[in-house]
Structure 1
Amino acid sequence: MNLAVFSDTDFIGPDRIVLRGRRRDHLARVLKSAPGDCIPVGQLNGLMGEGTLVRLDEQEAELAIALHSPSPAPLPLSLVLAMPRPKMLRRILQTVAALGVKDIWLINAYKVEKSFWQTPWLQVDQLEENLILGLEQAKDTRLPTVHIRQRFKPFVEDELPQLLHERPGLVAHPGTSRACPSHLNQPATLCIGPEGGFIPYEVDKLQAAGCTAVHLGSRILRVETAVPVLIGRLYDSCLG
């Protein structure tokens, strides 16, 4: 936790917050903080600054805060991701939040198992928790938005074209002739399939909507590896 992210409900006064649970435990057990220590803090969707630890007991950590700095600029990227395996979903959400992606679309695809959509990690509180873990890692406060679409064709035909109008699209697909571009300085939409990739029908539909198929070379990567590799290739600023 490189940044203690807090929300409006954590305030107990104009410049005082109380952290409980995981965040309190991290201060006590990992950082081994003591009263008087200065800790980086940030208000969810707000400014960042410093917090001085005033009190630490078995249940709470009370901090006096001063906020003054904006969060890092977000990536101008919409990520369209075929619903991954639940055990991967948490890691991917944390990773893309840490990289500065603010617009995430989880969609269905032929090779996505129906059971994936039943995972508790798609509940609002679980999504937010994993996204915040990514923000804490990267020292960011802007919470990404996650859109869930369980029907592929209606999304591609009805919603994707408008998204591509604002942010031109790429679909990662091994075996295509065009290499993935690098160092973009403009908005984009990146579509990534499930393990095993999109089927030809899905690639055709994505291309018909306006996406360009690109590849990363001859190596076939797992989704959780391909996501940060593709984002890092497109936008070197995500690590700036």
Structure 2
Amino acid sequence: MNLILLAQDDIVTSTRARVRDPRRLTHLRQVHRAKCGDIMTLGIENGLLGRGELLSLTDEEACFDISALDQAPPAPLPVHLVLALPRPRMLARSIEHATSLGVKRLTLLHSRRVEKSYWQSPELDPAKIHQHLVLGLEQARDTMMPTVETAKGFRPFVEDDLPELLKGRRGLLAHPGMPVACPRGIDDEAVLLIGPEGGFIDWEVEKMLEAGCEGIHLGERILRVETAVTALLARLF
């Protein structure tokens, strides 16, 4: 981890924080090989980040001085990512990659080619999703926690929710065979829609275009979901 991300429960006083969970303690000991007096990069969830001193480290807890945290987190990407629910093994990587790149709003969407069984995956448990968000933030030295929503009905989403999301935003539908190449370095607030393996079906594409989205593509190659997420965000922003 490139950042020790502190939850609100870790904050003891305005100048002290205490970490007790095994994952972070193990990382401090085995990866950082931390010792008392080390100056480390710390951040408070949804707050400031900076450098802080490791005051103590035992098998049960680590204590930090957080009095010098005075830096703002990186700027978020101006995008709401709408992602057709990937298969479970891809979902975790997609969430972590999007979070590392600065996505702060993510909607997981049902579509015809999304297996209904995916919605029963343990990876959709809020605690598991939070874990992947934390890993993405730690990687990117960010502290602002994204929000993740689900839309289990495609028609209600495209007819009711999508038009509201597109108010004041540029809708970009990433789908193979669209006539326009993905733009580069845009400054617009955007809604980016990415389909499942095999893509959206024709009717779904038509409904999103009717709602006001622009169809874009990344070329002839068909990419895995987590690769497409990274490639599109990097090219757009």
TM-score scaled by length of structure 2: 0.97
Amino acid paired to 1:138:
A
The number of residues matched between the two structures is 235
**Per-residue deviation, 1:63:** 0.9
Match for residue 140 of structure 1? 142
Q: Is the 8 A contact 1:78 1:167 kept in 2?
A: no
Deviation at 1:13, TM superposition (A): 2.4
Q: TM-score, normalised by structure 1?
A: 0.96
Per the alignment, residue 26 of structure 2 pairs with: 25
Give 2:60's aligned residue. 59
Displacement, 1:12? 2.1
What CA deviation, in whole Å up to 9, does each residue of 1:60-83 have, x standing for no partner?
Answer: 111111210000110000100000
Partner-residue secondary structure (3-state), 2:167: helix
Match of residue 44 from structure 1: 45
- C-alpha contact 2:170 2:188 (8 A) present in aligned 1: no
Higher alpha-carbon deviation: 14-23 or 146-155:
14-23
Aligned partner of 2:170 among 168, 171, 195: 168
CA distance in 2, matches of 1:119, 1:51: 38
Alignment of 1:95-110 (within 5 A): 95-110=97-112
Residue 119 (structure 1) aligned to one of 118, 121, 139: 121
Show CA shifts across 1:160-201 (max 9, x none): 001011321011111121111111011111100000000000
Which has the larger displacement, 117-126 or 1-10?
A: 117-126
Contact 1:4 1:42 in 2 (8 A): yes
For the residues of structure 2 that align with 1:178 and 1:12, how far apart are their CA atoms? 53
Separation in 1 of the partners of 2:14 and 2:235?
Answer: 43
2:58 alignment partner AA: D
Secondary structure in 1 aligned to 2:205? helix
Percent identity of equivalent pairs = 50
Cα deviation, residue 122, structure 1: 1.2
The Cα of 1:7 is off from its aligned counterpart by 1.4
| Runs of 4 or more above 6 Å deviation | none
Query: Are 1:233 and 2:235 an aligned pair?
Result: yes
1:6 paired with 2:6, answer: yes
- Give structure 2 stretches of 5+ with no counterpart: none
SS at match of 1:165: coil
> Equivalent residue of 2:93, what SS?
helix
CA deviations 1:132-159 (Å, max 9, x no partner) are 1000000000001111010000011001
**Conservation of the 8 A alpha-carbon contact between 2:177 and 2:217:** yes
After superposition, residues 78-93 of structure 1 pair within 5 angstroms as 78-93=80-95
Shift of 1:128: 1.1
Matched, 1:131 2:152: no
The equivalent residue for 1:238 is: none
One-letter code of the match for 1:147?
A: E
Secondary structure of 1:67's match?
coil
